[in-house]
Amino acid sequence: MSVEPVTTAESAKGSPVPATSILVADDDRMFRRVLEKWLLNWDYSVTVVEDGEKAWAVMQDENPPTLLLLDWMMPGMDGIELCRSIRSRSLLRYPYILLLTSKDAKQDLLEALDAGADDYLTKPFDVDELKARLLVGKRILKLQEELIHARDDLRYQAMHDALTNIWNRGAILEFLHRELGRAARSGQSLGLLMVDIDHFKKVNDTYGHLVGDLVLRECARRLSQNVRSYDWAGRYGGEEFLIIAGDSTPDNIMKHAERLRSAIADEPIVTPDGPISVTISIGVAVDGPASSVKQESLLHACDTALYRAKERGRNRVEFAG
């Protein structure tokens, strides 16, 4: 694909401020150059193509431009067809489309808007009017980004524990349900570790809840840092954590659990009241490849193994069975 390379005025100056990306599609080379000059002066990051098919190819990129300046009359795929094609796709971000044309009949305007254009500008047009209409598009796109960020924040808060920032109880149980189904379909085994901080009530009673919260956060951080990249770690409740370990055998999951135990026990946690030595107990269970263990049964097996670890002196790992 032939796309004319264009740099922004800001990037040419070495400024780190990102520019709004804009795609220009027009078959008139001279007009493209004029538009390019204006847009660069207005600090847009510009991609320029000469027809609708090349513009459509640009829109297949992972992060396509979100502000589009399209000519109606182009060879091959024209602006109307391009609008319809873009609107037929499910995109993460809504692209704002300004259609340029020499047509000025009311029916043409209706056709453009029906095809998916957000705005319509008749050639020849005043440069200040183009600038103002693009600013409208930028305001809408800015609002879209704010809404996306707000949605992502709400999604994060709904699935993460507010204190430790790891997965919360609802999320980790949902992942367990999903991973059990995946393991059953693939014939792989699934490991589950239930972790409890030893004598945590004593930490709270001795040092106060603020230090207790710090201990919880640090334990969560160490556990998260020491699980495999494809495992899941979440706060189950209070001072308990759940770790889902895919494709695990009894032997390798016990070794993994010992590493997690050591990650907590081997180094005291630094607090404003001085270093505090903390240990954990871990109950381990495995859903074998030929098994169809239900979630509640696996959780119960882990809980039983954890209780046995507590009974046998804490700071240890016990396997269910």
* DSSP code per residue over 223-290: HHHHS-TT-EEEEEETTEEEEEEES--HHHHHHHHHHHHHHHHTSPBP-TT--B---EEEEEEEE-TT
Q: What angle do CA 74, 144, 21 make, to 5 degrees?
A: 45
| CATH number assigned to the domain comprising residue 269 | 3.30.70.270
Q: 44 has which bridge partners? A: 20
**What's the average model confidence in pLDDT over 170-185?**
92
144 with 195, same domain: the answer is: no
**What's the average model confidence in pLDDT over 6-12?**
38
Per-residue pLDDT of 98-118, as tens digits, reads 999 888 778 888 998 999 999
Domain boundary residue among 158, 177, 211? 158
pLDDT at 306 over 90: yes
pLDDT greater at residue 10 or residue 314: 314
CA 277/CA 194 separation, integer angstroms: 20
Domain boundary residue among 135, 158, 181? 158
Residue 138: both structure tokens together: 């930028």
- At 17 the pLDDT is 39
Could you tell me if residue 4 is inside a domain?
no
154 with 198, same domain: the answer is: no
Could you tell me if residue 164 is inside a domain?
no
Domain boundary residue among 94, 129, 158? 158
Could you tell me if residue 229 is inside a domain?
yes
174 with 148, same domain: the answer is: no
173 with 154, same domain: the answer is: no
Helices 169-186 and 295-311: crossing angle in degrees, nearest 10, is 110
| CATH number assigned to the domain comprising residue 39 | 3.40.50.2300
Residues in the chain: 321
Phi, psi of 92 (to 5 degrees): -60, -40
Query: Could you tell me if 69 and 22 are in contact, meaning their C-beta atoms sit under 8 angstroms apart?
Result: yes
**Lowest-confidence segment of 3-7, 253-257, 272-276 by average pLDDT:** 3-7
153 with 176, same domain: the answer is: no
103 with 68, same domain: the answer is: yes
224 with 143, same domain: the answer is: no
146 with 181, same domain: the answer is: no
Which amino acids are annotated catalytic?
A: 239
279 with 299, same domain: the answer is: yes
**H or E segment and range at residue 66:** none
Number of domains in the chain: 2
154 with 14, same domain: the answer is: yes
If you search the block for the tokens 């207005």, which residue do you land on?
Answer: 42
Could you tell me if residue 2 is inside a domain?
no
The one-letter amino acid code at 117 reads A
Could you tell me if residue 195 is inside a domain?
yes
- At 291 the pLDDT is 55
Which residue pairs from 236-242 have beta carbons closer than 8 angstroms and sit at least 24 positions apart in sequence? 236/169, 236/172, 236/194, 237/169, 238/200, 239/196, 239/197, 239/200, 240/194, 240/195, 240/196, 240/197, 241/166, 241/194, 241/195, 241/196, 242/172, 242/173, 242/176, 242/192, 242/193, 242/194, 242/195, 242/302
Per-chain mean pLDDT for the chain: 89
Q: Containing domain of residue 200, as a range?
A: 169-319
Per-residue pLDDT of 75-94, as tens digits, reads 889 999 999 999 998 878 89
CA 173/CA 230 separation, integer angstroms: 16
Query: Could you tell me if 70 and 100 are in contact, meaning their C-beta atoms sit under 8 angstroms apart?
Result: yes
Could you tell me if residue 197 is inside a domain?
yes
Per-residue pLDDT of 29-86, as tens digits, reads 999 999 999 999 999 999 999 999 999 999 998 889 999 999 999 988 999 999 999 9
pTM of this prediction exceeds 0.85? no
181 with 303, same domain: the answer is: yes
37 with 136, same domain: the answer is: yes
Phi, psi of 37 (to 5 degrees): -65, -45
Could you tell me if residue 193 is inside a domain?
yes
- At 26 the pLDDT is 93
